[in-house]
Amino acid sequence: MKDPIKVLIVDDSALIRQLLSTILDQDKDIKVVGTAVDPYQAREKIKQLNPDVLTLDVEMPKMDGITFLKNLMRLRPMPVVMISSLTTTGAEVTFNALELGAIDFIPKPKVGVAQDLALLTEDIVSKVKSAAQSKVRALPSTPPNVPKENNADCVLPKTQGPISFSTTDRLVAIGASTGGTEAIKEVLIALPADSPAILITQHIPEAFSKPFANRMDSCCAMKVYQAEDGQPILPGHVYISPGDQHLMVERNGARFLCRLNQGPPVSRHRPSVDVLFRSVAQQLGHNAMGILLTGMGKDGAQGLLELKENGSKTIAQDEATSVVWGMPGEAVKLGAAQRTCPLELVASAIINFHRNVS
How wide is the angle at C-alpha 93 spanned by C-alphas 88 and 96, nearest 5°?
A: 130
The single residue of 11, 203, 237, 318 carrying the catalytic annotation is 203
Kindly state which CATH superfamily the domain 5-132 is placed in: Response regulator (3.40.50.2300)
Is 299 a known active-site residue? yes
Any idea where the domains of the chain sit in the sequence?
A: 5-132, 152-354
Superfamily of domain 152-354: Methylesterase CheB, C-terminal domain (3.40.50.180)
- Note the pLDDT tens digit of each residue in 94-105: 999 999 999 999
Evaluate whether 5-132 and 152-354 have a shared fold.
yes
* Residue 117: per-residue pLDDT: 82
Q: Could you give the CA distance from residue 101 to residue 313 in angstroms, rounded to a whole number?
A: 31
The three state secondary structure string of the chain is: CCCCEEEEEECCCHHHHHHHHHHHHCCCCEEEEEEECCHHHHHHHHHHHCCCEEEEECCCCCCCHHHHHHHHHHHCCCCEEEEEECCHHHHHHHHHHHHHCCCEEEEECCCCHHHHHHHCHHHHHHHHHHHHCCCCCCCCCCCCCCCCCECHHHCCCCCCCCCCCCCCCCEEEEEECCCHHHHHHHHHHCCCCCCCEEEEEECCCHHHHHHHHHHHHHHCCCEEEECCCCCECCCCEEEECCCCCEEEEEEECCEEEEEEECCCCECCECCCHHHHHHHHHHHHHHHEEEEECCECCCCCHHHHHHHHHCCCEEEEECCCCCCCECHHHHHHHHCCCCEEECHHHHHHHHHHHHCCCC
Q: Is 38 a catalytic residue?
A: no
CA of 174: how far to CAs of 67, 214, 215, 256, 325, in Å? 32, 18, 17, 17, 15
Q: Which residues pair with 246 in a beta bridge?
A: 261
Whether residue 354 lies in the annotated active site: no
Amino acid identity, residue 136?
Answer: V
Which one of the listed residues 177, 195, 279, 322 is annotated catalytic?
Answer: 177
The pLDDT value recorded for residue 156 is 74
Give the pLDDT of residue 164: 46
In the predicted model, residues of the chain with pLDDT beneath 50 are 142-147, 164-166, 358
Please tell me the predicted confidence (pLDDT) of residue 356: 79
Pair type for strands 246-252 and 255-261? antiparallel
pLDDT digits (tens, 9 = 90+) for 265-306: 998 899 999 999 999 999 999 999 999 999 999 999 999 999
**Model pTM?**
0.87
Among candidate residues 269, 299, 312, 322, the one labeled active-site is 299
